[in-house]
Copies of this chain bind each other. A is one copy, B any other.
Amino acid sequence: MSGGEFDLIRNYFRDATAQREDVVLGIGDDCALINVPAGKHLAVSMDTLVSGRHFIAEVDPVSLGHKALAVNLSDLAAMGAEPAWVTLSMTLPDADEVWQQWLASFMQGFSALAACHQVQLIGGDTTRGELTITVQAHGFLDRGEGLRRNAARDGDQIYVSGTLGDAGLALQMQQGRQIKVNDSAYLKHRLDQPTPRLALGRDLLKYATAAIDVSDGLVADLRHICTSSGVSAVVHVEKLPLSDAVSHYLNESGDWALPLAAGDDYELVFTVPLERQAAFEAVITQWDLRCTWIGSIEISEPSSQVKVVLPDGKIIDEVSGYDHFNA
């Protein structure tokens, strides 16, 4: 990180995030220096958001700052990791007053979410070009722990947190599609300011085998688990947890592809072995965040299929998810 151009971000960000004791040297030198606790794995995840692809150019910058951090913290959540530090690279079209104001707003959303999770920004880069945001998040896991995609086994039960399709429906409305819903503000919030399920991820270390966050769509992301684990999945559409708004929309439209294929909800989908299911069902009754059973893992040929059971009992086995290069 060369110093001169980073002053731009430093002005908006120094002291804006939590100051952590394990940060030896933060923003402003060639490198940041940090201390990882003994006995921990360091978990790292990097995600890039590009204007016009991952968000619209007119997006509220406060929300975008939240989301840029949230999607990375969501990857830590899907491993069960505890977040610690982040780096941020911003490519901005200009450094004039308009963009400085934009950046101040972006940082407001970014730092508010960082504060919620005691996350410190330790460095990064700023360059000029098409608006592009890259964040790398760093967190801890006890050695030997971690919810991996390859850990699902025959007979595991599949659960998902929260509700599905909210962000997808908001995206359709943003794209100009006329849809009658009761609570468009709720849907917009779900799209613009997703909640990384960090506490859930850590709690799941005791119960779950595999986990992934729903960024590309339930079926697409579940297929990653199936591919990595060499298994298949059966998902019951009628069991999918839906908000009132999406439920109402589905009743009118019959568009079941929405909660199956739409991305951006950043809920966790995960597998629980049969022998832990009773304990898990007992404990989730205490949790504020709903976790819903939606299906099970099986061994079938070819493996890595996700079979979807429709309300009429019909089974389909191909639902496309979001792909950044085909969308």
Q: Which residues of A contact B (CB under 8 A)?
A: 1-5, 8, 24-25, 28-36, 38, 41-54, 75-76, 78-79, 81, 87, 89, 91, 95, 122-130, 132, 134, 136, 138-139, 141, 143, 146, 148-150, 211-213, 215-216, 220-221, 224, 228, 321-325
Contacts and interface: CB of A to CB of B under 8 A. Distances in A.
Contacts of A128: 50, 53, 324-325
A34 B44 contact: yes
B324 A48 contact: no
Contacts of A122: 44
Contact of A129 (B81, B125, B130, B228): B130
Number of copies: 2
A207 to B, nearest CB: 17
A44 B32 contact: yes
A321 B4 CA distance: 9
Top 3 A-B residue pairs of the complex, sorted by shortest distance between their CB atoms = A50-B129, A30-B78, A31-B43
A45 B28 contact: no
B324 A127 contact: yes
A123 B53 contact: no
